[in-house]
A and B are shown apart, each in its own frame.
Chain A
Amino acid sequence: DVKVTQSSRYLVKRTGEKVFLECVQDMDHENMFWYRQDPGLGLRLIYFSYDVKMKEKGDIPEGYSVSREKKERFSLILESASTNQTSMYLCASSSPGPEYNEQFFGPGTRLTVL
C-alpha cells in the first residue's frame, strides 16, 4: 500500500513564526504535491515537485516555499505565518505512469495560526 505520512496532525503557531510541514512517501514516487483545503474553496495546489531539487509553483504559492532534498521527502515552509494561512494542509504523491496522475494523500495537517 502507498503510504504518505505527514509530520503533525494538528499544529498551532503564532503569527510571524516560521513553520515547517514535512511529508514522506514510501512508494518511490517521483511527484509530490502540497495542497491546502478550505471550506468552499476545495483543494488548491501550492507547490509541486517532479524530481529531487525540482519545484514548480502551483495556483497559490505566495507566502510559501518548499524543499525537496530527497526523493521521499517534500517540505512546505511558511516563512512568516499569518492568520490567513490557517487551513488543512495535504501532501500527496504520484508516479508518472502507467496509472499516471493517481495521487495518494497523507492524513493532513490542520494548522492554526493565532
Chain B
Amino acid sequence: QKEVEQNSGPLSVPEGAIASLNCTYSDRVSQSFFWYRQYSGKSPELIMSIYSNGDKEDGRFTAQLNKASQYVSLLIRDSQPSDSATYLCAVDLGGYQKVTFGTGTKLQVIP
C-alpha cells in the first residue's frame, strides 16, 4: 500500500531552536511534495512545496528532498511558540493531480 509516514510526536523544542520534521513516502515516482501547517481546530495551510532534490528555503523554513531515499523534511529555524501546530506532509503517490497526506507531526515550541 502506498503510504506517507510521519512520526506523530509530539516533538518538543525550546524557543529559538531548530525543529526538524521528517516524512517518508513509498512511491519512487512521486514528483511533488508539500508541507502544511494545521493549528488546532483550523484547516491546513500550505507553507512549502518542493519538486526537485535538494533544499528549498523560504524565510525560517527549509524543505529538504531526497528522492533516492524517499525522504522529505522540514526545518524550522528560530522556532517560535506560534509555530506550535501539527505539520502535515503531502506527496503525490503516483496519482495525477492528487496527493496523499501523512497523519501529521505535532510540534510544541516551549517558551
Residues of A in contact with B (beta carbons under 8 Å apart): 31, 33, 35, 40-43, 45, 48, 50, 58, 90, 94, 96, 99-108
Among residues of A, the one whose C-beta sits closest to the C-beta of B45 is: A105
Decide yes or no: A43 and B92 within 8 Å by CB, A33-B98, A48-B98, A96-B97 being known contacts: no
- Residues in B with CB closer than 8 Å to A106 are 43
B43 in contact with A101 (CB, 8 Å): no
B103 in contact with A101 (CB, 8 Å): no
In this complex, how many residues of chain B approach chain A with their Cβ under 8 Å: the count is 19
Among residues of B, the one whose C-beta sits closest to the C-beta of A107 is: B43
**Majority DSSP secondary structure for residues of A touching B:** loop
| Choice from A35, A102, A108 contacting B49 with Cβ under 8 Å | A102
B46 in contact with A102 (CB, 8 Å): yes
List 28 A-B pairs, Cβ < 8 Å: A31-B98, A41-B103, A42-B88, A42-B101, A42-B103, A43-B44, A43-B101, A45-B98, A48-B97, A50-B97, A58-B98, A99-B49, A100-B97, A101-B32, A101-B49, A101-B97, A101-B98, A101-B99, A102-B34, A102-B46, A102-B49, A103-B99, A105-B43, A105-B44, A107-B42, A107-B43, A108-B42, A108-B43
Q: Other than the known A42-B104, A43-B44, A108-B42, what 16 A-B pairs have Cβ atoms closer than 8 Å?
A: A31-B97, A40-B103, A42-B101, A42-B103, A48-B98, A101-B34, A101-B49, A101-B97, A101-B99, A102-B46, A103-B34, A103-B46, A103-B90, A103-B99, A105-B44, A108-B43
Q: Which of B53-111 contact A (CB under 8 A)?
A: 88, 90, 92, 97-104
Query: A90 CA to B46 CA in the complex, in Å?
Result: 14
B103 in contact with A104 (CB, 8 Å): no
Interface string of B31-54 (1 = CB under 8 A from A): 010100000001111100100000
